[in-house]
Structure 1
């Protein structure tokens, strides 16, 4: 059996005086899996992603990512772990408009301590692999939504993360561009990238993952693979 990349054990997280955003969630994602997290607004999807990424901490339970207890890390250590081991892709790309495409992709590698030449070589390799090498010297504002999302994926992969987290990666795209990004995520997983996609888009979930975790009111209400219920 493959190594767990994500292990949540009895995790709960609440905010202010409202009901918990997550309640007693236990979840394992193994190396090479592609998992979609589905659920209505307010179901706890974003909280789950933030806990896995180390952007938030649980009130109770443990969160382990790539062998590290991220819930026990301080802010600086959490940022270092996230930079090195977790790639993040967002709905609205979060690219820096005053940097070129290459500089956007290079930035996380430079922050992780990679020398400029090696970082630039890695960025060029990824931009070519993802089909946007011709835009290397362009600024993000000149690109289509689908192209910007490909650049965002390149940036997320530049440090060879153990885990790629995608938060509504097609939410700001038209149908054709969304299908294109879905195909890209499928290709990445086929090459061995562990992938978790948080989405409202059932078509995206079906196209690029083989396992679906459904959240309702902060609890796991279903966990199914393409072969059937788990």
Structure 2
């Protein structure tokens, strides 16, 4: 049986005096799985992603990612763990407009201490594989939304993470660009990259993951197989 990349056991989280954002959630994601976390706004899916990423701490339960208890890490330890083991893709890209595409992509590797030449070779390889190599010297503001999201995926993959987290990655894109990014995520999953996609979009979940975990009112209500990935491979 494949080794889990994510293990949550009895995780709960409450903010202030409101109802629990998560209620005793347990979840396992094994290496090579592509999983969608599906739910409406306020369901707890973003809280779940933040706990997996080490951006938040549970009030109860344990969170283990790639063999590390992230719920026990301090702020600096969490940042180092994300840098080396987790790639993150956001709805609004979070690219730095004053840096070129290549400079954005190499940034995680440079922060991790990778030599500039090695980092730039890795960036060039990723940009070529993701179909945006022609924009290597451009600034993000000159790219379309779909192209910027491909650059964001390249940046997320820069340090060869054990886990790729995608938070509503097509939410800011038009239909055509959203389909393009959906096919890219499906291809990554087909190649064995562990992917957790957080979305409210069932069609996106079906197109690029093989398992759907539904969450409502802070609880997992369903955990079932879903669609299959695209055939084109991206490493």
Question: In which range does the TM-score fall when normalised by the shorter chain?
Answer: over 0.9
* 3-state SS, counterpart of residue 104 of structure 1: helix
* 3-state SS, counterpart of residue 40 of structure 2: coil
| Counterpart Cα distance in 1 of 2:130 and 2:82 | 22
Instruction: Show the counterpart of 1:149.
Output: 149
| Counterpart Cα distance in 1 of 2:226 and 2:154 | 28
Instruction: Show the counterpart of 2:37.
Output: 37
Deviation, 1:191, is: 1.1
Instruction: Show the counterpart of 2:88.
Output: 88
Instruction: Show the counterpart of 1:130.
Output: 130
Q: Deviations over 1:134-184 (max 9, x none)?
A: 000000000000000000000000000000000000000001110100000
Instruction: Show the counterpart of 1:181.
Output: 181
| Counterpart Cα distance in 2 of 1:41 and 1:184 | 25
Q: Deviations over 1:56-97 (max 9, x none)?
A: 000000000000000000110110000000000000000000
Which sections of structure 2, spanning at least 5 residues, go unmatched? Answer: 228-235
| Counterpart Cα distance in 1 of 2:121 and 2:220 | 42
Instruction: Show the counterpart of 1:60.
Output: 60
The TM-score normalised by the length of structure 1 is 0.98
Instruction: Show the counterpart of 2:26.
Output: 26
| Counterpart Cα distance in 2 of 1:109 and 1:188 | 20
Deviation, 1:190, is: 1.0
Instruction: Show the counterpart of 2:233.
Output: none
* 3-state SS, counterpart of residue 20 of structure 2: coil
* 3-state SS, counterpart of residue 29 of structure 1: strand
| Counterpart Cα distance in 2 of 1:115 and 1:189 | 28
Instruction: Show the counterpart of 2:49.
Output: 49
Q: Does 1:8 align with 2:8?
A: yes
| Counterpart Cα distance in 2 of 1:189 and 1:52 | 19
| Counterpart Cα distance in 2 of 1:189 and 1:51 | 22
- Equivalences, count: 227
| Counterpart Cα distance in 2 of 1:123 and 1:39 | 34
Q: Deviations over 1:7-30 (max 9, x none)?
A: 000000000000010000000000
Instruction: Show the counterpart of 1:216.
Output: 216
Instruction: Show the counterpart of 2:166.
Output: 166
| Counterpart Cα distance in 2 of 1:47 and 1:171 | 18
* 3-state SS, counterpart of residue 206 of structure 1: helix
Deviation, 1:226, is: 3.2
* 3-state SS, counterpart of residue 110 of structure 2: helix
* 3-state SS, counterpart of residue 21 of structure 1: strand
